[in-house]
Structure 1
Amino acid sequence: MSNATRAPSTPFFTPANSPGAALDPTAANTPTLFRPLTIRSLTLKNRIIVAPMCTFSCEPELTSPAVGALTPFHTAHLGHLATKGVGMVMIEATAVLPVGRISPQDSGLWQDGPDSEQVRGLRSLVEFVHSQGCAVGVQLSHAGRKGSTVAPWLVPKEDANGHNSQGQHQRRTRGSLKASTTDNGWPDEVVAPTGGESMKWAPGDDAFCTPRELSVHQIQELVAAFARSARLAVSAGVDVIEVHGAHGYLIHQFLSPVTNRRTDCYGGSFENRTRLLREVLTAIRDAIPAGTPLFLRISATEWLETAPVSVDTGSWDVGSSVRLAMLLPGLGVDLLDVSSGGNHKDQQIQPHSKYQVSLAGKIRRAVRAAGLDLLVGAVGLIREAEAARDIVQGADVASDEDERENGEKEKECSPEADVVLVARQFLREPNWVFAAAKTLDVPVSLPCQFGRGLL
Structure 2
Amino acid sequence: MEHLFTPYKLKGLEVKNRVVMPPMCQYSVTNKDGIANDWHYIHYVSRAIGGAGLIIIEMTDIEPEGRITDYDLGLWSDEQIPALARIVEACHQHGAKVGIQIAHAGRKAQDTEQPVAPSAIPFNKDFKTPKELTVEEIQDKVEKFRLAVGRAIKAGVDVIEIHGAHGYLIHEFQSAFTNKRTDEYGKDLAKFGKEVIRAVKREMPEDMPLIMRISAKEYVDGGYGLEESISFSKEYKEAGVDMFHISAGGEGPIAAHGKPGTHVAYQVPLAREIRKALDVPVIAVGRLDEPVLANAVIGNEEADLVAVGRGMLRNPYWTLEAAATLKKETTYPTQYQVSFPN
| TM-score class, shorter | over 0.9
Q: What displacement does 1:346 show?
A: 10
The normalised TM-score by structure 2 is 0.95
Of the three residues 128, 132, 135, the one matched with 1:209 is 128
Distance 1:233 1:316 in 2: 32
Counterpart check, 1:239 vs 2:158:
yes
Q: What displacement does 1:60 show?
A: 4.4
| Cα-to-partner distance string for 1:300-340 (whole Å, 9 max, x where unaligned) | 00022xx2xx2xxxx22111111123233322211100000
Q: What displacement does 1:426 show?
A: 0.7
Q: What displacement does 1:48 show?
A: 0.5
Q: Is the 8 A contact 1:245 1:252 kept in 2?
A: yes
For the residue of structure 1 that corresponds to 2:235, the secondary structure is coil
Q: Percent identity?
A: 39
Q: What displacement does 1:33 show?
A: 1.4
Of the three residues 42, 46, 55, the one matched with 2:26 is 55
| Cα-to-partner distance string for 1:79-138 (whole Å, 9 max, x where unaligned) | 0010010001110000011110000000000103xxx2x101111101100101100100
5+ residue gaps, structure 2, are none
| Cα-to-partner distance string for 1:378-434 (whole Å, 9 max, x where unaligned) | 00000111111111110xxxxxxxxxxxxxxxxxxxx11110011111112222212
> What is the aligned residue count?
338
Larger Rg: 1
Equivalent residue runs for 1:251-290 within 5 Å: 251-268=170-187, 272-290=188-206
Distance 2:19 2:87 in 1: 19
Equivalent residue runs for 1:146-295 within 5 Å: 146-148=108-110, 185-187=111-113, 189-195=114-120, 199-202=121-124, 205=125, 207-268=126-187, 272-295=188-211
Distance 1:88 1:346 in 2: 24
Equivalent residue runs for 1:311-390 within 5 Å: 315-345=223-253, 349-351=259-261, 352-368=263-279, 374-390=280-296
For the residue of structure 1 that corresponds to 2:212, the secondary structure is strand
Q: Which 4+ stretches in 1 moved above 6 angstroms?
A: none
For the residue of structure 1 that corresponds to 2:160, the secondary structure is strand
Distance 1:252 1:349 in 2: 20
Q: What displacement does 1:359 show?
A: 0.8
Higher helix share: 2
Distance 1:290 1:48 in 2: 24
Counterpart check, 1:40 vs 2:11:
yes
Equivalent residue runs for 1:10-89 within 5 Å: 31-61=2-32, 67-89=33-55
Distance 1:349 1:342 in 2: 13
5+ residue gaps, structure 1, are 1-27, 62-66, 149-184, 369-373, 395-414
For the residue of structure 2 that corresponds to 1:90, the secondary structure is strand
Amino acid at match of 1:350: P
The normalised TM-score by structure 1 is 0.72
Distance 2:254 2:248 in 1: 14
Amino acid at match of 2:17: N
| Cα-to-partner distance string for 1:314-372 (whole Å, 9 max, x where unaligned) | x221111111232333222111000000112598831111320111111112123xxxx
Quote the residue 2:333 is aligned against. 447
Q: Is the 8 A contact 1:201 1:345 kept in 2?
A: no
Quote the residue 2:217 is aligned against. 301
Residues 346/286 of structure 1: CA separation in 2 closer, same or farther (3 Å cut): closer
